[in-house]
Structure 1
């Protein structure tokens, strides 16, 4: 029962009179800072790379491969691409990179992802920097105020991510065609696209929102055996959500970089058949 003497949630972080009077910010003796530093470095590297590629507006198509950063291509300047899920919906008035149109959805999904929240809260904001390390900020409001309250729209970005994964699946199918649009082609790019789409799908459906959609609000699993089996499957993937988050982040960047190398003429796609 409240007595009126409890510290307010925002009154002073962990440095309050009701907490243990420990002068040190932590009592850990291991290199606890390595994990948040590595996380920050990895995310920063992806941010720099994806920003460069998103605004480059070039070298994003080399038949039959289209960069996952630019698909589906919805601007008029995508007409140079003879194949792929392209639709001139934005017309010629959209003068900047067509990647900007679509990247907001997968990036929004990742930015609001429960794992990525933990990653960049610790890596960039030190909130908190690690387990058993004091929160350095004087106030803590969680995700109850703007802009962090917008994290609650993660479930809606999940639906958009499903659509994007569907488009990338179509792109992967098209990667089995050669430059003359004949089926039966398989190159190194096809393998990269296959690995990428498997990781994209497993990361997407391992999402906490997906787990809730599949098995949430069920009072009796025994009455819903199909949903229960699906919930168990998603739960197993969810246990590896962190690994899948990083693996899919690397694979999507690798797929884009491979298309960039082909489109810029660095080398030709090695064919297996």
Structure 2
């Protein structure tokens, strides 16, 4: 029975509409719910600033036998003429800006459209919503049905590009077992960093939700496809750690690039184990 004292729904937009429960407080949480989105925003912003600096720096990205993952494959002719890098010059001499701009769009596009990273920056930067049980400030919600968010559906295609990039980085890791004279049998600290990085890159790429669907999403009878079922099971176990792998691979690729930068800039020499 109405008593005449019930709280009236807010006339604002977003979650504060007449169709939602009328709660006067912005939220009822008493914990530090803001800490997770704040840390996420700080981590992502740090990587964006660092990668932007390194991508446009156009220098100190090769120190034999290591080439920075930000610049690989280095496709501009100026890679060889200016930096004596090992990669093929497919773009010729007309490409005048940083060679990293050619290739970084593919791994960055894969990460930007990744299901986990969507959740991370939606909450951290767009506050949509900032945390569970905390109202978002937006007056309307359209999901990923309009520009620019409809472009998130390109994730499955960026996945194939990410496989190619991971293959190139694997090749670079193999080359990291050569010395400065390109003779096999070298192992330095950089070699170990490259091994760690490529392992995390592959784990993150294969744990992708799109990869899991490609392997087993359309199978109706797993018993008829035992090999694909085993692969699907392996990827599913990786997928359970997708968030951890996303952050670990983000840190490792930046660390590998920074290590090459230190070597190329002459900060120190690569410690060799044999």
What TM-score range do you get, normalising by the shorter chain? over 0.9
Looking at structure 1, the residues matched to 35 and 85 of structure 2 have their Cα atoms a distance apart, in angstroms, of 45
1:4 match: none
2:199 match: 198
2:236 match: 235
Looking at structure 2, the residues matched to 181 and 194 of structure 1 have their Cα atoms a distance apart, in angstroms, of 18
2:3 match: none
C-alpha deviation, 1:25, in angstroms? 1.2
Looking at structure 1, the residues matched to 90 and 212 of structure 2 have their Cα atoms a distance apart, in angstroms, of 34
2:210 match: 209
1:64 match: 65
C-alpha deviation, 1:18, in angstroms? 1.8
Count of residues in Structure 1 that have an aligned counterpart in Structure 2: 262
Kindly provide the CA deviation profile for residues 145-171 of structure 1, in whole angstroms up to 9, marking residues without a partner as x.
000000000000000000000000000
Q: Say whether residues 1:148 and 2:149 are aligned partners.
A: yes
Instruction: Provide structure 1 residue ranges, at least 5 long, that are not aligned to the other structure.
Output: 1-10
SS at match of 2:70: coil
SS at match of 2:167: helix
Looking at structure 2, the residues matched to 164 and 235 of structure 1 have their Cα atoms a distance apart, in angstroms, of 22
Q: Say whether residues 1:38 and 2:39 are aligned partners.
A: yes
C-alpha deviation, 1:118, in angstroms? 0.2
1:91 match: 92
Instruction: Provide structure 2 residue ranges, at least 5 long, that are not aligned to the other structure.
Output: 1-11
2:268 match: 267
C-alpha deviation, 1:88, in angstroms? 1.5
1:119 match: 120
Looking at structure 1, the residues matched to 138 and 116 of structure 2 have their Cα atoms a distance apart, in angstroms, of 21
C-alpha deviation, 1:110, in angstroms? 0.2
Kindly provide the CA deviation profile for residues 198-244 of structure 1, in whole angstroms up to 9, marking residues without a partner as x.
00000000000000000011111111111111001000000000000
Looking at structure 2, the residues matched to 82 and 74 of structure 1 have their Cα atoms a distance apart, in angstroms, of 12
1:75 match: 76
2:166 match: 165
C-alpha deviation, 1:82, in angstroms? 4.8
SS at match of 1:79: helix
2:176 match: 175
Kindly provide the CA deviation profile for residues 48-98 of structure 1, in whole angstroms up to 9, marking residues without a partner as x.
0000000000000000000000000000111145553x2222111111000
1:5 match: none
1:223 match: 224
Contact 2:62 2:68 in 1 (8 A): yes
SS at match of 2:94: coil
TM-score, normalising length from structure 1?
A: 0.94
Task: Please tell me the root mean square deviation across aligned C-alpha atoms, in Å.
Answer: 1.0
C-alpha deviation, 1:12, in angstroms? 3.1
Looking at structure 2, the residues matched to 74 and 130 of structure 1 have their Cα atoms a distance apart, in angstroms, of 42
1:7 match: none
Contact 2:62 2:85 in 1 (8 A): no
Looking at structure 2, the residues matched to 41 and 192 of structure 1 have their Cα atoms a distance apart, in angstroms, of 24
Looking at structure 1, the residues matched to 191 and 164 of structure 2 have their Cα atoms a distance apart, in angstroms, of 21
Looking at structure 2, the residues matched to 221 and 135 of structure 1 have their Cα atoms a distance apart, in angstroms, of 41
